[in-house]
Structure 1
Amino acid sequence: MSPSAKKAVYFFFWYFSTLTPFAYGADLLPATAPRPVEEQPDHLTFSFSPYFWAAGISGDTAVFGLPEVHIEESFGDILKDIDFGMMAAGEARYGRFSVLTDISYARITSDSATPRSVFADSVALKQETFTAMLGIGYTVLGDDQSRLDVVGGAKLWSTETTITFRGGPLGGVSARDDATWVDGLAGFRGVYSLTPRFYLTGWGLVGAGGADLDWDVMGGVGYEIKDSVSAVLGYRAVGVDYSNGSLTNDIVEHGPILGLVFHF
């Protein structure tokens, strides 16, 4: 199989077989339109949410005191540069309570990063990122038209970045650094029925810990195909701002999402 074909297979598996991406918290998507709190099942239910996130990335990164480099990649650039990625998530719900989990891994190699200095002509960037989130939700408001959950949890980050400068005084200089940290996150997720089939859905999470700032927001429209399956179209943005003195990782990913939510 050619390298380009392999990348296409890896990309398809990354986005569709389990979750999305460098995305975090896919199962924040409500599985169906809301039902009254008093009518929620008195047994465990589960949901699984594979979806496609056409995300671009922008931001700055640096290692070991070398000049910062700027990343500005569209969705098409990410598709070209991805080496491998896979993600998985799940949700268990009992009455008002829910438990969310989300695991992701992505490795990207890019020649499109640009130096924020006059000491190099271009930059090669390789970045590997692993995240794992565990959260707990509780329904604070609910009726036959809407539901609002409070969500809190922790997210583990592990990232390794390699930067190689080309041309100019720093030509040939290469450095690699890695970091692992945990952030606490809190926020809300909700759903509001427009009709018996169509509904609005979204979430907003923000936190910090090892990072100075960690956030995730999404808004979309869902359609209940049947009781156990919904389709959702929306827009999502995720950002993190981390620095430990030797590694800087200040990036934002954003773009449209389209997914299915299976409830059982």
Structure 2
Amino acid sequence: MTFSGAAPARAADLASSPPAMDVDAPTFSATIYLWASALHGTSATLPPLPPAEIDLSFGDVLKDLNGAVMGAGEMRVGRWGFLADLMFTQVTPSGTLPGPCAAGFEVRSRSLTLQGDVLYRLYESDALDIDAGAGLRVWHLNTRLTVDPGLLPSGLAYSQTESWVDPVIAGRVLAQLGGPWSLTVVGDIGGFDVGSKLTWQAIATVNYQWSENLALRAGYRALSVDYENGNFLYDVRMQGPVLGATYRF
């Protein structure tokens, strides 16, 4: 779920009275963010290789990170909000297999998470907004193992791809803290054995309204998923600080 709330720029509104607006006219906001996520859990994304325990700090992940794209967007029409969040990462750890052959190996792991939510504003005031709704979180994992010639004369290349969709129920609270400061709290839970056994997410950010259209955000995000399909297992929790900027059109 995206944390890009399209709340009014109330701090800026204090300085000058905005012109009358059609409350049902759509508004748009876009967010770019950086999530410094650690990774913990159990993973078997290259069956028949056995499950492996994962305990990586963000520094560990960063060493093997090839690239990442993280962004979110929201369209609001009246009390309705339509949200999208995209996160793509690729990491490529490598090393040398033990033994007399000492062949080098590389594991390329690509992860795509795409989420869409529809939220309805249950309560709205100058100090507090409360939204609730539902959505879908799509997961796509691709893992490739490459072993250099040594153990086998021609080397080895093996890959595995897994995709699934999790329904989620979601909520969001936007609270004004005074002046240009505000707080956004987002949460969702789902899976329900439709895709994963269970998935949940929690995000909290403190926001600073830099201008009428631009808000800066800093906080913490956690995302957990427990998915199993045959010998494929992905039971992990990602968590860490998040920094972002939201521009309202």
Unaligned runs of 5+ in 1: 1-24, 113-122, 166-171
Unaligned runs of 5+ in 2: 11-20, 96-104, 148-154
Give distance in 2, aligned partners of 1:223 and 1:41: 24
Residue 199 (structure 2) aligns with: 214
TM alignment of 1:1-264, pairs within 5 A = 25-26=1-2, 28-32=3-7, 41-62=23-44, 63-111=46-94, 125-162=107-144, 176-208=159-191, 209-264=194-249
Give distance in 1, aligned partners of 2:65 and 2:122: 40
Q: Deviations over 1:138-172 (max 9, x none)?
A: 1001111000100311122111234679xxxxxx9
Q: Is the 8 A contact 1:103 1:133 kept in 2?
A: yes
Give distance in 1, aligned partners of 2:22 and 2:37: 34
Q: Deviations over 1:226-260 (max 9, x none)?
A: 22111111111111111101211111111111211
Instruction: Tell me the amino acid that sits aligned with residue 102 of structure 1.
Output: D
Return the offset for 1:174: 7.6
Moved more, 139-148 or 96-105: 96-105
Figure out how many residues of one structure are paired with residues of the other and give that number. 222
Q: Is the 8 A contact 2:34 2:70 kept in 1?
A: no
Q: Deviations over 1:117-138 (max 9, x none)?
A: xxxxxx9643211222221111
Q: Is the 8 A contact 1:31 1:262 kept in 2?
A: no
Give distance in 1, aligned partners of 2:228 and 2:106: 20
* Structure with more of its chain in helix, by fraction: 1
Return the offset for 1:65: 4.0
In structure 2, the CA distance between the partners of 1:156 and 1:59, relative to structure 1 (3 Å rule), is same
TM-score (norm 1): 0.75
In structure 2, the CA distance between the partners of 1:34 and 1:207, relative to structure 1 (3 Å rule), is farther
Residue 17 (structure 1) aligns with: none
Q: Deviations over 1:168-195 (max 9, x none)?
A: xxxx998532211110011211111111
